């Protein structure tokens, strides 16, 4: 489908010959989002700055081969369980479930071949109620060790000239766990910018965060208060202002790589606000998820060449990932990630942009 608001074009091929397309959804004033079905990935997101100049603000690759060659999660949909599960195991209805470990002893982002490494199918393209792309896949029972055949949909929609939403929906034929999110790396000065995100001002309206051990698994304790710690982002705070403080949690994560507890209020609400003083771009992230993982790009090490041939290094971008709390299947004191037959898993992320 090609129209004023939607464009569909070839982007690359898998080794088996399957075509990977690139679908571009356009709003107004140069605002556009490009998605590839490989990993249900947000490949590009162009946003105007305070002077009306549009830049792509998400890290990634200009060509398909970059996504196929290395697993870096740039813009990808991660699942069946985003973040980590301790020991790559949990118990569900008194039955032990063993997963495929891929992060030391733990399972991370769905295992070695998670949703980000799968080719999703384009099942719907429409201009109404806004330029919309729906992608779908079936995750078979036992994939990466997870129980249940899971029918999954990811819906990308440009809701206005300044807003993109991502909605994940899933059903299962037997009890399982589900936790999906988008893993975009943001730099509001531009993906090709020579600037880092340490001067970005971040607000996260959360009173608590989860302290972790050396393998990034939450400690066996209640959520910690952010008050008096480098994790207090309840008012706008420069990311670089406290990232190098002598704090045990910052040492363990090599920076920020922690879940912020958003509360249990129903409905979509503000989870983060990010402002870039240089470009004037502002991103508000709204969600109905109970947690937000803030990752300050600590493990970008210059080994990956991205858009424009730029080598991505530490703090070149950040991730704000709304999802269930990490290791929830092993923590009955955490909000549940369980999905039973007859139920519908549905979670939404809204990225809303403006300038100052």
In the set 183, 200, 258, 323, the catalytic residue is: 183
In the set 143, 275, 321, 323, the catalytic residue is: 321
Which residues make Cβ contacts (< 8 Å) with residue 145, sequence separation at least 6? 88, 97, 98, 99, 100, 107, 111
Active site annotation includes 321: yes
Kindly state the DSSP code that residue 64 receives in the 8-state scheme.
H
CA dihedral 193, 304, 71, 194 (to 10 degrees): -10
Q: Is the dihedral of CA 317, 113, 78, 30 positive or negative?
A: positive
C-alpha–C-alpha distance, residues 63 and 171, integer Å: 33
C-alpha–C-alpha distance, residues 101 and 99, integer Å: 6
Q: Is residue 181 a contact partner of residue 351, using CB atoms and an 8 Å limit? A: no
Please tell me whether residue 129 adopts helix, strand or coil conformation: coil
Q: Which residue has the tokens 């982007």?
A: 11
Q: Is residue 104 a contact partner of residue 110, using CB atoms and an 8 Å limit? A: no
Active site annotation includes 183: yes
Residue 72 is encoded by which pair of tokens?
């870096």
Q: Is the dihedral of CA 308, 311, 316, 322 positive or negative?
A: positive
Q: Where are the beta strands (DSSP E) in 4-74?
A: 6-13, 19-26, 32-36, 41-48, 54-56
Please tell me whether residue 201 adopts helix, strand or coil conformation: strand
133-140 long-range CB contacts below 8 Å, 24 or more apart? 133/6, 133/23, 133/25, 133/35, 133/157, 135/35, 135/37, 135/40, 137/40, 139/79, 139/80, 139/115
Q: Is residue 98 a contact partner of residue 162, using CB atoms and an 8 Å limit? A: no
- By annotation, the residues acting in catalysis are 183, 321
């Amino acid at each position: 489908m090609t129209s004023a608001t939607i464009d569909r074009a070839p982007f690359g091929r898998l080794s088996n010959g399957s075509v990977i397309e690139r679908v571009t959804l356009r709003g107004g004033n140069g605002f556009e989002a490009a998605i590839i079905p490989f990993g249900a990935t947000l490949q590009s997101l162009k946003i105007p700055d305070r002077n009306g100049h549009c830049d792509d603000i998400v890290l990634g690759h200009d060509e398909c081969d970059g996504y196929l060659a290395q697993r870096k999660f740039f813009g990808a949909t991660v699942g069946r369980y985003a973040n980590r599960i301790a020991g790559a195991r949990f118990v569900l209805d008194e039955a032990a479930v063993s997963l495929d470990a891929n992060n030391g002893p733990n399972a991370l982002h769905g295992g070695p071949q998670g949703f980000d490494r799968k080719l999703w199918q384009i099942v719907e393209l429409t201009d109404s109620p806004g330029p919309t792309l729906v992608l779908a896949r079936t995750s078979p029972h036992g994939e990466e060790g997870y129980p249940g055949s899971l029918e999954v949909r990811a819906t990308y929609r440009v809701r206005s000239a300044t807003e993109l939403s991502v909605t994940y929906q899933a059903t299962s034929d037997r009890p399982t766990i589900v936790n999906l999110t988008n893993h975009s790396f943001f730099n509001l000065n531009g993906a090709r910018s020579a600037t880092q995100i340490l001067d970005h001002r971040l607000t996260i309206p959360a009173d608590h965060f989860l302290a972790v051990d050396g393998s990034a698994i939450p400690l066996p304790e209640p959520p910690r208060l952010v008050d008096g710690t480098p994790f207090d982002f309840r008012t706008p705070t420069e990311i670089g202002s406290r990232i190098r403080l002598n704090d045990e949690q910052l040492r363990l994560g090599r920076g920020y790589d922690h879940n912020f507890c958003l509360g249990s209020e129903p409905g979509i609400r503000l989870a983060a606000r990010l402002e870039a003083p240089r470009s004037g771009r502002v991103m508000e992230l709204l969600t109905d998820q109970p947690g937000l993982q803030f990752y300050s790009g600590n493990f970008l090490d210059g080994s990956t060449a991205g858009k424009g041939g730029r080598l991505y290094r530490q703090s070149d971008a950040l991730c704000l990932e709304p999802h269930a709390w990490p290791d929830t299947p092993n923590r009955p004191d955490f909000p549940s990630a369980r999905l039973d037959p007859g139920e519908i898993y549905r979670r939404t992320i809204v990225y809303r942009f403006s300038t100052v």
